[in-house]
Copies of this chain bind each other. A is one copy, B any other.
Amino acid sequence: MVERATPHLIRVRVTPAYTVTVGAGVLDAVGVTVRERRLALVSDATVAELYEAQVAHALRASGHEVSTHRVPAGEDSKSPDRWLALQRAFAQGGLDRSGAVVALGGGVVGDLAGFTAATYLRGVPWYLLATSLLAMVDASVGGKTAIDIPEGKNLVGAFWQPGAVVSDVRTLRTLPLRAFHQGGAELFKHGLLGDPALLAGFENGLAPDWPEQALAEIIARSVAVKAEIVTADEREAGARVHLNLGHTLAHALEAVTDHGLPHGEAVAYGLHYATILGRLRGLQDLTGRTAALLAWAQPAPLPDVPFEALVPYVARDKKARDGRPRFVLLEDIGRPVVVDDVTWAEQERAWKLLKEEVER
């Protein structure tokens, strides 16, 4: 008999509240989590190959009626075209307000399927079955859904809370190591923002071959940090902006490389950039911690562009107010601050220091 550890349940007290389940083998129990009978199951080609049949079986065994929808794997699927194609497929299939959307996959599928659910019939329920570390620690909490337009990533979307999130750590076995490292960057960020024990996990060599229960615990702790921040600020008016630690540069790096640098790797650079900016401004020097993250995450090389190439993207950042960029910096671990007086000269200096350091 296989011993089955109890999954971690994190309650996210937004409106309406929902539960994130983190554990090993929890995908097989998804049928009881989803309340609606008629379901549209959305996944990407890669994930569908691995888990669509398993999930559809679990849902049907619990009496659900399931239609399946696949999109190509990769960020390009977060497009207005894919969004519209899903809307049309749902309508053609007769999905009505008594049904729900189930997203099976990582951040791309969650964003696309979640935003489709947010806008189909002016909003139907949705569920996220997260199969990447990034989705487990990031998309699982916050209710953010979005697609990309040529002017920028995630510029079109909605806040739309899922009915529940299920994160089965067994799916991490099939996740490419590079993708695992990307999720690690967001997990590390949560450590910097509110739980130093998460940082220790990296020093202990966090890896996909860790025991399932150890993986589940570190993921659940990371989810708890984000849930606490988001609950206090559901619509990103205040403290929630702290979650953007490292993201101002990250978004610019993604944009300037036309998404050639993946989000999680850009965030790893962005976190180190933020601690460099902090050190330049006399805050606690945390560059050693974020340098260790970079060593662990092994991101692709920084794009070889001058600082000027990043400026338009930094100025267009969603945190900007009246065109002025804002940065989240750290006074110390667990003490984020928002500053809107970082000069372009300071940013350029930090960019040069970051480049020098990673080229060594």
Is residue A322 contacting chain B, with contact meaning CB distance below 8 A?
A: yes
Q: Which residue of B lies closest to A38 (CB)?
A: B322
Is residue A48 contacting chain B, with contact meaning CB distance below 8 A?
A: no
The interface residues of chain B lying within 8 Å CB-to-CB of A98 are 321-322
Q: Which residue of B lies closest to A150 (CB)?
A: B88
The interface residues of chain B lying within 8 Å CB-to-CB of A91 are 149, 151-152, 155, 316
A156 touches which one: B97, B120, B154, B156 (CB < 8 A)? B120
The interface residues of chain B lying within 8 Å CB-to-CB of A96 are 316, 318, 320-323
The winner among A154, A316, A322 for most chain B CB atoms within 10 A is A322
Is residue A53 contacting chain B, with contact meaning CB distance below 8 A?
A: no
Give Cα distance in the complex from A80 to B144, angstroms.
21
Is residue A122 contacting chain B, with contact meaning CB distance below 8 A?
A: yes
Is residue A306 contacting chain B, with contact meaning CB distance below 8 A?
A: no
Is residue A159 contacting chain B, with contact meaning CB distance below 8 A?
A: yes
Dominant secondary structure of chain A at its interface with chain B: mixed
A87 touches which one: B156, B158, B323 (CB < 8 A)? B156
1/0 per residue A60-104: CB within 8 Å of B? Answer: 000000000000000000001000100110011010111000000
A119 touches B122 (CB 8 A): no
Is residue A135 contacting chain B, with contact meaning CB distance below 8 A?
A: no
Give Cα distance in the complex from A115 to B122, angstroms.
10
Q: Which residue of B lies closest to A80 (CB)?
A: B84
A122 touches which one: B84, B120, B122, B158 (CB < 8 A)? B158
Give Cα distance in the complex from A150 to B92, angstroms.
10
A156 touches B119 (CB 8 A): yes
Is residue A330 contacting chain B, with contact meaning CB distance below 8 A?
A: no
Is residue A118 contacting chain B, with contact meaning CB distance below 8 A?
A: yes
Give Cα distance in the complex from A320 to B38, angstroms.
13
1/0 per residue A116-127: CB within 8 Å of B? Answer: 001111110000
Is residue A146 contacting chain B, with contact meaning CB distance below 8 A?
A: yes
CB contact list, A155-184 vs B, under 8 A: 155-159
Q: Which residue of B lies closest to A152 (CB)?
A: B91
List the 10 closest pairs (A to B, CB-CB), nearest first.
A91-B151, A122-B157, A98-B321, A80-B84, A87-B156, A119-B156, A91-B155, A96-B320, A122-B159, A122-B158
User: Would you mind naming 23 contact pairs between A and B with Cβ atoms under 8 Å apart?
Assistant: A80-B84, A84-B149, A87-B149, A87-B155, A87-B156, A88-B149, A91-B149, A96-B316, A96-B322, A118-B158, A119-B119, A119-B156, A119-B158, A120-B155, A121-B157, A121-B318, A122-B144, A122-B145, A122-B158, A122-B236, A123-B159, A123-B235, A158-B158
Q: Which residues of A contact B (CB under 8 A)?
A: 37-38, 80, 84, 87-88, 91-92, 94, 96-98, 115, 118-123, 144-146, 149-152, 154-159, 235-236, 316, 318, 320-323
